[in-house]
Structure formats: structure tokens, C-alpha cells
């Protein structure tokens, strides 16, 4: 299943969630109605009134109960969803995680940060922050609404007990959830299920309040027997509310278990090392702490975890995760030996050499393979990322992990080679960047400007985690400086556009409320104008003359099966690209796949792709919310 198909599957899972939700709420309404109806009959009987079973049906009461229950459930869901609207960090904090300092000197924390950086660069997504939970068990999770606000969570047992290969296998599994649209669905699950459980919480509150009242009544020598129907009402509301518990477990099981198998398979494809994730699962089976999470919110977030974070379920129908043995068997049946002891230590695998890290001027690509790689990085992409990180100057590797160093690095990436432009840029920074940033720029100058073209965007990606920790005021200064540096020469080149687009996509949701684009384009014809504008801009930017631009445009347009007209050159600016991308991100993933395929055929029509064109293609893919791994020869 490719990335685009997986997004459709995630949407279908959302439809299943809605169906279960409606059924659960309907049953809860029925249960709440009878709870109130029997309570009213009980009160009537106690006061000497006439009691008839036929009086159980009361249309007005039914209307009030239905309306009241719907209001309570919906408000409960919306409240929880609002709590988690900031993305993965809210889930990590809820589970007791603390942010791992990107500049940490702790060797085990450094190990997981390095693995996550490799995975992110290989996947084509911003490097996610890592949160550490102080559990001795072996577990992990990925959470967020989009790859731009995703986080990785790991337990202390995970980083202490797993080898690097095993940790890499676990992280590859979690990155599959980031890439395949599972995270947004998981957060919606928490919100929806909280709304269902609110009725039980109300019942619990009624019982506690009534019990307290009865205790005070007894202390005052009052009989207090009139509270009994209210206690019964509270108990019945608790029982009815726990219909939600049953459906919650059923929903999480229906949505989660098959996705775990898919994520395991993706992890093997990503690392080309089944012993990594298989060894991690074996260690969980043999580790005394297992994978259980000791946090009061573990139940509502149980579907996020790499392995079962709760006690083993008595009924497999309710389990959010398949049994460990089943997962290991699908990965590699030979790893089953010794599951109980967890003694097998996977051997390290050598990364293949991959061309492109040194930054060649241009290279050939196969457009179909590029499209197929979206959301599906493999071991070659991972090897590329590992080599790229290994060849970075030590000063750069250290600087990108602090807010000051990350800001300085981005500024240096944007400093122009032309003397007059560079002088204007530096004059501006001396007035607006701050002394600390300027000092780091002086130290890093040669190291950053000497980076090969292929390393520029990955280095900028590495800066994102540290930049997220800027204060809102500092971020406003940083983003203003970036805009000023880009505009210093009165024109925007492909790299500047790609970098600015990436930074906005990664950082804007952290500091501003960004509304997700609704899907309202479901046919290619509805995005015909946007597609023509985007392909025209790509064709002109990669061509030496008008004839070559026409050929490139036709190569892309032919992939869409539409009658498109090349837009005049004077109408092809970055504003046109932005407008086209804003329209296209509102299309279905199936349409985005076709448009991205057309863009790649357009750029590769001369059978060569420059590093700048590769950066632009990745910026287009990122804007379309299609995480594209690095392009290399």
C-alpha cells in the first residue's frame, strides 16, 4: 500500500470510527433515558404516588435526555480535541513526557536523537522533538496532527535496554505512523472516546456527591433515605457510561491492530533489517517491565504505543495490539526462538554507499520511482541520511541543536555570494539578529557556506526542533529576518523559495493557529488552472529557452490527461506557485499524486535533475503534504 492509498485507508477508518461513535451514543441515550425514567418512578413510589410500567415512556423526557446527552457527549469530545489541538506535544505532556534537550550530553538520549534525525532526513519530514517518559518498560509512540507538529515519545527502558539497531527498528515503526496518516486519527480517537466517557464521569460525580450528603445527614441524625434514588441514578449513569468503555476498546482495536502490522512491515522496508524491530519485540517479551506504561492516561492513549501499554486484555477482540508472537512471526519467523527469554542480540548491518551526499551538479531520476517513494522511504534513503550526517562539520552538527545556533545557521544558508547583496544582508542582521546570533555566525561562517548544495535543506530541517523552542517574540524576529534576507536582492531563487516554504510549514503551526485545509477538489478538472500554473512555472525555471520550456510543460501535462495551456512567462512567479499549491492542497490525495507525478515528469523531461530542481520538487511535495525522501543519483 503506497502513501496515497494509506491516506484513503485512514479516512475510511475515520468513517468506521464515526459509525461506532454514533452506535455508542445511541445506546448511551437509551440507557440514560431508562436511568431517569426508573428514577422518577422510584421517587413517585417513595412519595406514595401511582407506579405503572407503562409510564416508563415519556416523549418529553426522551427529548430532553437525547438533547442533554448529545450536548454533554459532543462538548466532552470537543473539549478534549481542543486540549490536544496543539498536536503531538499535548499528548506527550499528558503521558508525563519531558522534552529531551536537542543539545543533551547524555549518551543514551543522544543516541535516540541521532536515530530520529536520520529517520526524519531519510523520510523528508521535519525532525520531530523527542519526549522521554520515565518508565522502565520498553515502549514508544508517535503523536501529532501532521508531520509538521509530530513528536516522538520513548520510555527510559526503550533507550536503556535496546541496541541501536533495535531502537532504529522501533523508530522506523513510529515514522510509519507519522507518514501514513495514523496520528491524526489516533488523536481524534482520544477526543471522541472522552466524550463517550463523560456520562460515566458524571455518574461517578453524582454518587460521590450523594454519598457525601448522606454522610452529613447521618451526622445530623437525619434519615437521609430520600437520596437513595439519586444514588441509584448515579450508579446507573456510571454503568451506562461504561458502555463507552466497551465501545472505546472496540473502536481502538478495530482501528489500531491492522495498522500495527503495516507499520512493522514499513519498518522492515525502511531499515532493511528485520532483526532490529524483531529484536525489540523479543526484548519486550522477555523484559520484566514489558511494555506497560505507568500513567493514568495510558488507557486513553493505548492505541498510540509501539506495544501494548496496558495489562493484557482477557479478550483479544479488545486488544489494541496484536500478540508479540504474531508480530514477530510476520517479521521473521526465525526470531520466535527465545521469545520468553529475550536473549537474541541482533547483529549490526552495514549501510550501503549512496551517491549524492557530496553534492553533484545534476543526476538522473526515474519519475515513477520518485512518486512511489513518497511516504515510503527505504534503506537507501536511510543510508543517504546517515552519510550526510556523518559528513557534516562538527561545529554545524552542534550549532543546529540550540535556538541561537539554529537561527545563525539558517541566516548563513541565506547569505548571498554577491558582495553587495551580502553586505546589505549582514548590515540588516547586525541591527536585528542579536549579539549572540552574530557571534555564532562569525564562528560558523566557513563551515556553513562550505556545505554542498545537497546538504542545505537537510541541515535546515535539523534546525527546526531548536527553532520551535524560540519565544513567540524571538520567532517573530527570526521569521522577519528570514524574509528580509530572501528579499535582499529583489528576487527569490529556487533554494530560497524551498527553504522559506519548509520553515513556514514546519514552524507556523507552533506559533500561530493554522487551520487545516478541507478537501473540496475531487476531480482533476477542478484543479486544471492550478495544475497549468504550477507546471508552467516549473517548466520555465528548468529550461534554457522557450522550446525547452514547452517540451517540459507538455511532458508534465500529458500525465494528467487534460488539455492544459502553457501560462506566459511574465505570469510565472513565486506568487503563482503559492496560489497553485494552496489550491492543490485542497484536493484529494489521489489527485495530489497525479499532479506530483506530472511535476516530476516536467522537471525530469531532459533526463537530468539539478540539486536546485530537486529542492524545488521536495518543496512542492511538502506543500502538498506529501513527505518525499531525498532525491539523489
Residues labelled as active-site residues? 174
**pLDDT value, residue 141:** 95
Q: How many residues does the chain have?
A: 633
pLDDT tens digit string along 131-171?
Answer: 999 999 999 999 998 888 899 999 999 999 999 999 999 99
**Superfamily of domain 90-175+252-336 in the CATH hierarchy:** Metalloproteases ("zincins"), catalytic domain (3.30.2010.10)
Residue 210 pLDDT greater than 90, yes or no: no
Q: Residue 480: enclosing H or E segment and its boundaries?
A: helix 472-486
Dist. CA 436–CA 434, nearest whole Å: 6
Average pLDDT of 277-297? Answer: 89
Q: Are strands 130-133 and 151-155 parallel, antiparallel or unpaired?
A: parallel
Q: How confident is the model at residue 633 (pLDDT cuts 50, 70, 90)?
A: low
Query: At 396, is the pLDDT very low, low, confident or very high (cuts 50, 70, 90)?
Result: very high
Query: Quick check: 513 pLDDT over 90?
Result: no
- Between 176-180, 214-218, 484-488, the lowest mean confidence (pLDDT) is in 214-218
CA distance 512 to 510: 6
- Pick from 30-34, 78-82, 349-353, 620-624: least confident: 349-353
Q: Pick from 10-24, 260-274, 468-482, 483-497 the range whose average pLDDT is largest.
A: 468-482
pLDDT attached to residue 336: 61
pLDDT in tens, 12-59: 666 666 777 788 788 888 888 887 787 777 666 666 655 565 567 788
Q: Is the pLDDT of residue 359 over 60?
A: no
| Per-residue confidence band for 397, with pLDDT thresholds at 50, 70 and 90 | very high
Query: Pick the residue with more confidence: 395 or 342?
Result: 395
Share of the chain above pLDDT 90, in %: 38
Q: Supply 358's cell numbers.
A: 557530496
Give per-residue burial for 135-149: e unless 16+ CB within 10 Å, then b.
Answer: bbbbbbbbbbbbbbb
- Is 120 a residue whose pLDDT tops 90? yes
Domain locations along the chain: 3-87+186-250, 90-175+252-336, 393-511, 524-623
Question: How many degrees, rounded to 5, is the angle at CA 226 between CA 224 and CA 228?
Answer: 95
The per-residue pLDDT for 28 is 82
What are the beta bridge partners of residue 99?
A: 131
| Model confidence at 517: pLDDT above 80 | no
Task: Say if residue 233's pLDDT is above 60.
Answer: yes
pLDDT for residue 2: 64
Query: Residue 256: pLDDT band by 50, 70, 90 thresholds?
Result: confident
Phi-psi region of 623 (alpha: psi -120 to 50; beta: other; left: phi over 0): alpha
User: Is the confidence at residue 253, as pLDDT, over 80?
Assistant: no
C-alpha to C-alpha distance for 413 and 208, rounded to whole angstroms: 62
What does the block give as the cell for 326? 504474531
Residue 298 pLDDT exceeds 90: no
Is 451:412 a contact under the CB 8 Å cutoff?
no
Mean of pLDDT values over 288-312: 86
**What's the whole-model pTM score?**
0.82
pLDDT at residue 217 tops 60: no
The per-residue pLDDT for 351 is: 44
* 124 phi, psi to nearest 5 deg: 80, 30
Lowest-confidence pick of 325-339, 342-356, 473-487, 496-510: 342-356
Q: What is the mean pLDDT of the chain?
A: 83
Amino acid at each position: 500500500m503506497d502513501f496515497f492509498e494509506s491516506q484513503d485507508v485512514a479516512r475510511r477508518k475515520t468513517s468506521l470510527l464515526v459509525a461506532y461513535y454514533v452506535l455508542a451514543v445511541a445506546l448511551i441515550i437509551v440507557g440514560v433515558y431508562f436511568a431517569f425514567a426508573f428514577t422518577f418512578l422510584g421517587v413517585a413510589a417513595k412519595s406514595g404516588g401511582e407506579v405503572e410500567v407503562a409510564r416508563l415512556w415519556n416523549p418529553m423526557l426522551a427529548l430532553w435526555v437525547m438533547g442533554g446527552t448529545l450536548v454533554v457527549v459532543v462538548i466532552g469530545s470537543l473539549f478534549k480535541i481542543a486540549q490536544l489541538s496543539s498536536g503531538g506535544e499535548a499528548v506527550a505532556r499528558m503521558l508525563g513526557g519531558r522534552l529531551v534537550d536537542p543539545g543533551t550530553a547524555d549518551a543514551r538520549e543522544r543516541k535516540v536523537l541521532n536515530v530520529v534525525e536520520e529517520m526524519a532526513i531519510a523520510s523528508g519530514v521535519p525532525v520531530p522533538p523527542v519526549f522521554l517518559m520515565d518508565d522502565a518498560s520498553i515502549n514508544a509512540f508517535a503523536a501529532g496532527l501532521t508531520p509538521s507538529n509530530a513528536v516522538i515519545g520513548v520510555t527510559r527502558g526503550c533507550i536503556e535496554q535496546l541496541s541501536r539497531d533495535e531502537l532504529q527498528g522501533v523508530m522506523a515503526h513510529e515514522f510509519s505512523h507519522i507518514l501514513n496518516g495514523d496520528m491524526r486519527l489516533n488523536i481524534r480517537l482520544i477526543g471522541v472516546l472522552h466524550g463517550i466517557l463523560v456520562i460515566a464521569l458524571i455518574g461517578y460525580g453524582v454518587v460521590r456527591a450523594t454519598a457525601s450528603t448522606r454522610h452529613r445527614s447521618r451526622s445530623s441524625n437525619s434519615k437521609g433515605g430520600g437520596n437513595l434514588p439519586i444514588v441509584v441514578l448515579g450508579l446507573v449513569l456510571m454503568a451506562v457510561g461504561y458502555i463507552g468503555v466497551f465501545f472505546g476498546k472496540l473502536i481502538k482495536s478495530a482501528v489500531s491492530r491492522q495498522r500495527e502490522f503495516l507499520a512493522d512491515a514499513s519498518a522492515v522496508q525502511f531499515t532493511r533489517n528485520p532483526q532490529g524491530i524483531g529484536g525489540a519485540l523479543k526484548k519486550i517479551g522477555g523484559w520484566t517491565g514489558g511494555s506497560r506504561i505507568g500513567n493514568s492516561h495510558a488507557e486513553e492513549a493505548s492505541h498510540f504505543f509501539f506495544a501494548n501499554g496496558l495489562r493484557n486484555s482477557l479478550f483479544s477482540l479488545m486488544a489494541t495490539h496484536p500478540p508479540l508472537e504474531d508480530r514477530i512471526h510476520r517479521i521473521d519467523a526465525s526470531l520466535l526462538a527465545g521469545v520468553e527469554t529475550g536473549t537474541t542480540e541482533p547483529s549490526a548491518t552495514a549501510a550501503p554507499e549512496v551517491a549524492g551526499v557530496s553534492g553533484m551538479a545534476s543526476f538522473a531520476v526515474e519519475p515513477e520511482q520518485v512518486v512511489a517513494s513518497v511516504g515510503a522511504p527505504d534503506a537507501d534513503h536511510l543510508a543517504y541520511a546517515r552519510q550526510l550526517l556523518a559528513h557534516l562539520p562538527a561545529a554545524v552538527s552542534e550549532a543546529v541543536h540550540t535556538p541561537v545556533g539554529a537561527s545563525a545557521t539558517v541566516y548563513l544558508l541565506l547569505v548571498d555570494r554577491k558582495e553587495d547583496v551580502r553586505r546589505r544582508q549582514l548590515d540588516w542582521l547586525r541591527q536585528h539578529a542579536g549579539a549572540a546570533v552574530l557571534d555564532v555566525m562569525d564562528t560558523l561562517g566557513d563551515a556553513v557556506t562550505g556545505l554542498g548544495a545537497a546538504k542545505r535543506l537537510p541541515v535546515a530541517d535539523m534546525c527546526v526542533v531548536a527553532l520551535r523552542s524560540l519565544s513567540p517574540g524571538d520567532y517573530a524576529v527570526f521569521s522577519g529576518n528570514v524574509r528580509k534576507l530572501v528579499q535582499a536582492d529583489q528576487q527569490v531563487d529556487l533554494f530560497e523559495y524551498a527553504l522559506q516554504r519548509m520553515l513556514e510549514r514546519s514552524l507556523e503551526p507552533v506559533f500561530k493557529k493554522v487551520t487545516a485545509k478541507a478537501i473540496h477538489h475531487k476531480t482533476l478538472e477542478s484543479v486544471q488552472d492550478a495544475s497549468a500554473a504550477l507546471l508552467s512555472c516549473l517548466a520555465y525555471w528548468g529550461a534554457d529557452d522557450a522550446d525547452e520550456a514547452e517540451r517540459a510543460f507538455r511532458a508534465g501535462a500529458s500525465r494528467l490527461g487534460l488539455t492544459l495551456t502553457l501560462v506566459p512567462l511574465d505570469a510565472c512567479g513565486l506568487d503563482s506557485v503559492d496560489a497553485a499549491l494552496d489550491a492543490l492542497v485542497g484536493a484529494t490525495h489521489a489527485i495530489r499524486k497525479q499532479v506530483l507525478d506530472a511535476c516530476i515528469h516536467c522537471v525530469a523531461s531532459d533526463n537530468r535533475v539539478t540539486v536546485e530542481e530537486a529542492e524545488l520538487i521536495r518543496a512542492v511535495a511538502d506543500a502538498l503534504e506529501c513527505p518525499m525522501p531525498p532525491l539523489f543519483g
